[in-house]
A = this chain, B = another copy of it.
Amino acid sequence: MELQRDKWEQLLTHDVGEEIFAFAARIFPICRSITGNGVRRTLREIGSHLALQVHEVPTGTDVFDWTIPREWNIRDAYIKNAAGEKMIDFAQSNLHVMSYSIPVRKRVSLAELKEHVHTLPQQPDLIPYRTSYYADDWAFCMAHRQLEGLREESYEVVIDSSLESGSLTYGEYLHKGETEEEFLLSAHVCHPSLANDNCSGIALLTHLARRMAELRTHYSYRFLFAPGTIGAIAWLAGNEDNSWRIKHGLVVSMVGDGGGPTYKKTRRGDAAIDHAMAHVLRHSGLTPTIEDFSPYGYDERQYCSPGFNLPVGLFQRSKYGTIPQYHTSADDLAFIKREHLLESYDVIVKTIGVIENNAVYRNINPKCEPQLGKRGLYRRVGGKEVAAENMAMLWVLNLSDGARSLLDIAERSKLPFEIVLSAARKLHAHGLLSAGPSAPGG
C-alpha cells in the first residue's frame, strides 16, 4: 500500500466557503423537480466545473419496483383575484406550486381554491414545500396569513405545466484513483429553491470534486447528482453489477446551517466510513451527533436497502425534519452560511483523508520498546503537541500487529488520526515498522 499520497492538506488550505456559497446561490433560483428542465439546468451549472456525464432515463423505464414517471415541466403559474390582481405568482417563488402539479386553468370559488392550497398554520408567514409525484393533483402553497386574507370572491387559477413522456436526468462525475474501488458521494438535485436542502450539498460536492481533480488518490471518487429516491433507484438499477466497487460512501445534504453536524451510520454500522466519520467528528471541535442507521431519510435508504447494503452514511448539519426552516421558504440563502459550508467541507475532506491514508503496519521490534531517543524520535521538550506525538509513537508501536489499522489505533488512543499517521510514517521511515496488509475496507 502506497502511503505518500498527494497531500490532502492542500484541500484544506483555501477558504472554499465563499465559492461553495456562490455556487449554491447561483443554482438556488432554478425550479427543480424529480424530472424536467430544472434538473438539466442544474446539471449544466455543475458541468461548467466538472466533466459531468449526464444520463437520461426514459419515461416508462422499469427500475426495480418503480417506473420512471412522466417528465414534468412548468412555465408559469398564478392566482388572480376577481380584480385581476396576481395574489400568488410562481415567478416570485417556485415553492408556490406543488411539484408535479397537473396543468390547470379555471375560475374557482374561494372554497374550491382552499381545497388546493397548502399552508403552515403554525408558521403562518412561511410557504411550505410540497410534492405530488405519483398522484395526479394540483395545488398552490402559500403563507397561511395570506390565505386568511383572501376574500370570498372568484379566483383565476393557472398552472402552465406539462406532464409528458420524456426522461429522468441525472449526472455523475468520476475522479479516477489508483483502483477501481469507489467512494460514492451523492447529493439529491430534485428540490426547488431550498438553499440548505440541497443547494448546499450540490455546491459542496461540485467544488470538492473540482478541487480533487489534481489529486492522486487510492480510491476512485464517484460524484452523483440525482433526483431523490427515483434517481438513486435508477442509478442503482443501471449500475447493479458495479455496485460492489463502492467501498465507502456518503449522502450529503443540508450542509450549510449551523446545527449538528449529524452523521447517520450505514446499515452495517461498523463500516470504515462509520469509524472514519465518527473519528473526524469527535476531533472536529463541533458538537456532533452520531446516529444509528434508520430506514428513513435521504438516498442512503436505497443504497442501504438490504439487497445492496452498501457502506453509505448520511452527513448533514441539522438532522432533516428537526428545524423549523425544513421544507419551507425559510430555507433560503440567508439560512446557509459560508463558515458552516466550510466546516462541512472540512469534515468531509478529513474523513476522505482518513479513508485514503488508513494503513496497517507491523512492529518489527515487538519485544520491549525500541529506543526512540537514539534515533531522535522521542522529543523531551515541547508542549502538548510533542507529548501527543510521543504518545502516538508508543501507541503505534504497541498496537501495530499487522491487524489493527492506524484508525483503530487513533480510536483506541483517543489521538487524532493525523498525529497517529505522522508517527507511523516517521517510525516506518526509521525502519521500525513494516507495511502490513491493506487496511480494512481498503
Contact = CB atoms under 8 A, between A and B. Distances in A.
Interface stretch (A92-100, A152-160, A361-369): A361-369
Tell me which of A65, A240, A400, A401 has the highest count of chain B C-beta atoms within 10 A of its own C-beta. Answer: A65
Interface string A343-365: 00000000000000000000101
A237 to B, nearest CB: 8
Contacts of A134: 371, 373-374
A233 interface: yes
Interface stretch (A52-60, A77-85, A300-308): A300-308
A294 B368 contact: no
A308 B236 CA distance: 50
A110 interface: no
A368 B413 contact: no
B295 A366 contact: no
Given A296-B391, A391-B296, A366 B398 contact: no
Contacts of A267: 398
A66 interface: yes
Nearest to A362: B306
Copies of this protein in the complex: 3
21 contacts: A63-B368, A64-B365, A65-B370, A65-B371, A134-B373, A134-B374, A236-B367, A240-B367, A267-B398, A294-B391, A294-B395, A294-B413, A295-B369, A295-B391, A295-B398, A296-B391, A304-B398, A306-B366, A307-B365, A307-B366, A307-B367
A240 to B, nearest CB: 7
A7 B135 CA distance: 36
Given A66-B368, A134-B371, 6 more contacts: A65-B369, A65-B371, A135-B373, A294-B391, A307-B363, A308-B368
A306 B65 contact: no
Contact of A302 (B65, B368, B399): B368
Contacts of A413: 294
Interface string A122-152: 0000000000001100000000000000000
Most B-side CB within 10 Å, residue of A64, A229, A369: A369
B295 A394 contact: yes
A368 B65 contact: yes
Interface residues of A, number: 42
A338 B280 CA distance: 48
Contacts of A202: none
Given A374-B134, A398-B267, A369 B294 contact: no
A306 B398 contact: yes
A371 B306 contact: no
A397 interface: yes
A365 to B, nearest CB: 5
Interface of A: 63-66, 134-135, 229, 232-233, 236-237, 240, 267, 294-296, 301-302, 304-308, 363, 365-371, 373-374, 391, 394-395, 397-401, 413
A328 to B, nearest CB: 17
B233 A305 contact: no
Which of A237, A308, A368, A370 gathers most chain B CB within 10 Å? A368
Nearest to A413: B294
Contacts of A306: 363, 366, 397-401
Contacts of A391: 294-296
A394 B64 contact: no
Interface-central residue, A64, A134, A308, by most chain B CB under 10 Å:
A64
Nearest to A297: B394
A398 B365 CA distance: 47
Contacts of A399: 306
Nearest to A301: B369
Most buried by B among A236, A306, A367, A401: A367
Contacts of A374: 134
Contacts of A229: 369
Nearest to A303: B368
A311 to B, nearest CB: 15
Given A295-B398, A373-B134, A305 B236 contact: no
